């Protein structure tokens, strides 16, 4: 899955995990990480064995 921002730690991460997606690529920016509660999402993705990669454009 390729997305424009890091998936949020609320609803987005749960839906991604439930869908069976195993790899996420997103544009990495510091301000987006905190605003979207991305630290929570990272814990959930790690537990679900989902690879997430941030790229800088």
* Token duo for residue 12: 């987005």
Q: Mind listing the pLDDT tens digit for each residue in 1-57?
A: 999 888 888 889 999 999 999 999 998 876 666 666 778 888 999 999 999 998 988
Output the pLDDT for position 34.
65
- Each residue of 9-25: pLDDT tens digit? 888 999 999 999 999 99
The residues spanned by each domain of the chain are 2-55
pLDDT for residue 6? 87
Q: Report how far apart the first and last C-alpha atoms of the chain are (Å, whole number).
A: 17
DSSP 8-state symbol, 19: H
**What's the confidence (pLDDT) of residue 5?**
85
Distance, in Å, from the CA atom of 57 to the CA atom of 40, rounded to the nearest integer, reads 24
Q: Report the C-alpha gap between 10 and 46 in whole angstroms.
A: 15
Sheet holding 51-55, edge to edge: 2-3, 23-27, 51-55
């Amino acid at each position: 899955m390729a997305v424009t921002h890091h998936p949020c730690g609320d609803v987005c991460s749960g839906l991604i995990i439930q869908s069976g997606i195993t790899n996420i690529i997103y544009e990495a920016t510091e301000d987006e990480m905190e605003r979207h509660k991305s630290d929570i999402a990272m814990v959930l993705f790690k537990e679900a064995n989902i690879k997430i990669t941030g790229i800088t454009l």
